[in-house]
Structure 1
């Protein structure tokens, strides 16, 4: 994972430093950007992104259920939305 992050940083500096010439050949930019993203997911890094995606989806599902219940427990829609905003 460390190797991936080091290469990711080096590749990012190369991509950022030579951005103008690279952008003039758009397919080159697409390929270099693809390699840049792949380096971030090298080794255990892929688990980091998968874990973040899973936690985000779980949080969205749980939050929808919890906040809907909170919102519906108030008499007016305005007060329910206000409570959800304050809790969030």
Structure 2
């Protein structure tokens, strides 16, 4: 779900606040809070956003952590940054 879609849902709920159930309002507010918590200044197109969301869910990382990881890896793979060496225990 995009921020634009969520904004439209919030506006619709505000326009019919007397008609919306408490449970539906809770769901809308929780989804919005989650989107705000995971939002950043990086805006991706639909396909890229879906891919990042899918990978971050799969790896148990936040969207922002995943974007930072992808950028770090790309910079290293394209020789813009030195490659990090693995320590003996396998950590970076």
Per the shorter chain, which TM-score range?
Answer: 0.3 to 0.5
TM-score (norm 1): 0.34
Q: Which has the larger share of helix?
A: 1
Q: Which has the larger radius of gyration?
A: 1
Structure with the larger RCO, 1 or 2 (CA within 8 Å, 6+ apart): 1
